[in-house]
């Protein structure tokens, strides 16, 4: 039972961290209809900014958790204004190519600024210990990640379903021309949504920094996992992002413990099965067609 409990908590830890990251990718696609291939690079940038603020500037982890995502969101506004605004009305493939170019630019910029070596961020002292839970020892920081993931889940649900901002975002996603006719500033909505998606990616990066070694390829790894999440759950679906993240977290948590030899293959097997039987994802648009 202790092994199952540890695997379950590990699955929640991984799944909710993936949710924080992948839901930003899903929101951007759902509202803007672009596939942001640079999402993983923005996640990486959040982690590296956290490393700079904590290890070099000497700031506490909590300040980095606040400031690094804001910095990445500001960069996202610049990217939107300078580059992305020209391709919103084009085919989705154009956005994929442009954001892939942005990914390469950010990756090379990270190598130039921070180098190609590995960097480490320590968790804050308050969260550096462990506790006994479900018959196993669990890192306090892992419980913190789970708590933040649940808090963001509740906050995003409230934002989309109970606030005027959420209704405006949904209106812009359904029919941008009609939203403009209702005097909604869709240009501001588009920029805000892209910046919000980048902010979520950077929050995920800061949260992941004390858990994973930082290297210039970490964004490439997470964008693959994020795409697996959205393919399983359904591209553009908020509940689908949660479901896909939890499923992938369970695959990693239990697969890593009980099937370590094939654990790296299991996410791709799961994605292939979903594509075979549910091409739009479990909860994606057209999934019931």
Q: How far apart are CA 212 and CA 209, in angstroms?
A: 6
Integer angstrom CA distances of residue 125 from 60, 61, 140, 149, 182? 10, 9, 10, 20, 51
Signed CA dihedral, 108, 110, 113, 118: sign only: negative
Mean pLDDT by 10 residues, the chain (289 residues): 78 95 93 91 97 96 97 97 89 89 95 95 92 84 95 95 90 84 88 96 97 93 94 88 94 87 88 90 63
Q: How far apart are CA 41 and CA 202, in angstroms?
A: 9
pLDDT of residue 235: 83
Structural domain spans, the chain? 21-225
pTM recorded for the entire structure? 0.93
pLDDT of residue 289: 33
Residue with tokens 């830890």: 13
Q: How far apart are CA 199 and CA 286, in angstroms?
A: 29
Q: How far apart are CA 270 and CA 34, in angstroms?
A: 24
The helix/strand count (H/E) of the chain reads as 11, 2
Contact 180, 186 (CB under 8 A): yes
Radius of gyration of the chain (CA): 19
């Amino acid at each position: 039972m202790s092994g199952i409990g540890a695997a379950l908590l590990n699955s929640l830890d991984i799944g909710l961290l993936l949710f924080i990251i992948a839901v930003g990718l899903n929101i951007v696609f759902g509202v803007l209809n672009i596939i942001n291939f640079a999402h993983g690079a923005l996640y990486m940038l959040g982690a590296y900014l956290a490393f700079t603020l904590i290890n070099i500037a000497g700031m506490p982890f909590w300040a980095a958790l606040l400031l690094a995502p804001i910095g990445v969101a500001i960069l996202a506004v610049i990217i939107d204004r300078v580059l992305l605004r020209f391709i919103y009305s084009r085919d989705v493939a154009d956005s994929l190519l442009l954001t892939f170019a942005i990914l390469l630019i950010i990756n090379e910029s990270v190598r130039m600024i921070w180098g190609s070596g590995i960097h480490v961020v320590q968790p804050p002292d308050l969260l550096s210990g462990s506790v006994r839970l479900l018959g196993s020892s669990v890192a306090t920081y892992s419980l913190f990640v789970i708590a933040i993931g649940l808090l963001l889940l509740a906050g995003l649900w409230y934002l989309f379903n109970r606030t005027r901002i959420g209704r405006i975002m949904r209106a812009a996603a359904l029919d941008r021309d009609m939203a403009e006719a209702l005097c909604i500033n869709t240009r501001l909505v588009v920029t805000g949504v892209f910046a919000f998606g980048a902010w979520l990616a950077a929050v995920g990066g800061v949260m992941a920094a004390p858990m994973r070694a930082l290297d210039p390829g970490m964004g490439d790894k997470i964008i693959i996992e994020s795409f697996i999440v959205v393919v399983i759950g359904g591209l553009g679906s908020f509940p689908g992002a949660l479901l896909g993240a939890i499923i992938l977290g369970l695959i990693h948590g239990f697969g890593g413990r009980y099937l370590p030899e094939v654990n790296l293959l299991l996410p791709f097997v799961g994605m292939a099965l979903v594509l075979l039987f549910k091409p739009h994802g479990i909860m994606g648009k057209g999934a019931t067609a």
